[in-house]
Amino acid sequence: MVAIPHGTVPPMHFSSHHVSSHRIIPRISPLNPPPASLLESPPSQSLRPSQCSESEQLETLSAYIKSVEDELQQHNQLRSPMLLAFTPRGHNAAKAMTNWERKSSYLLREIVKFRTYVDSLQRASERRSEVYVERDNARRAARGEEIDDSSSTHSDEADMTLKAES
């Protein structure tokens, strides 16, 4: 019997892998996902505050959400071919399905998490505009100027009209 060094395998036993110099190099493809150990926990989020302005964050995160939605759509399209690639009751089919579901769940969580943040940024921007209008109205009232209560939301056009009339 021939002694095989630890970590190497004879090429004849692994037809689903590419063997080069007696090292196994697994083939990674959409139908052959990475090992479950790599997918067990999602990546952690950065705890550093963003250096971008709110509008830049809004733009960047909206683009990120779009890319994650596209990735989820592509991931969902792989489900049928994946089910066809494995024997339905086989061990590999269960592992592949678990990996598929784990990634799908992660992508959905990312979409919900960042949509929630984007919605918060949008609401904060709207509320900030309302506060600016309220402050402007309070200043005008303090100077004895007429206040236009009909505009509940602030718009630059209305502001320019009022400035032009003053």
* pLDDT tens column, 49-81: 888 888 899 999 999 999 999 999 999 999 999
Is 7 exposed, middle or buried (CB count within 10 Å of its CB: 0-12, 13-18, 19+)? Answer: exposed
- What are the DSSP E strand ranges found in the chain? 18-20, 23-25
Banded model confidence at residue 146, pLDDT cuts 50, 70, 90: confident
Question: What's the CA gap between 41 and 165, in Å, rounded?
Answer: 61
* CA dihedral (138, 143, 149, 154) positive or negative: negative
**Res 19: pLDDT:** 44
Confidence (pTM): 0.57
How many Å is the Cα radius of gyration of the chain? Answer: 29
| Ramachandran class of 21: left when φ > 0, alpha when ψ lies in -120 to 50, beta otherwise | left
Banded model confidence at residue 90, pLDDT cuts 50, 70, 90: confident
Q: How far apart are the first and last CA of the chain?
A: 100
Q: What is the largest CA-CA distance in the chain?
A: 102
* Partners of 29 in the β-ladder: 32
Count CB-CB contacts under 10 A for residue 9.
Answer: 14
Q: Would you say how long the chain is, in residues? A: 166
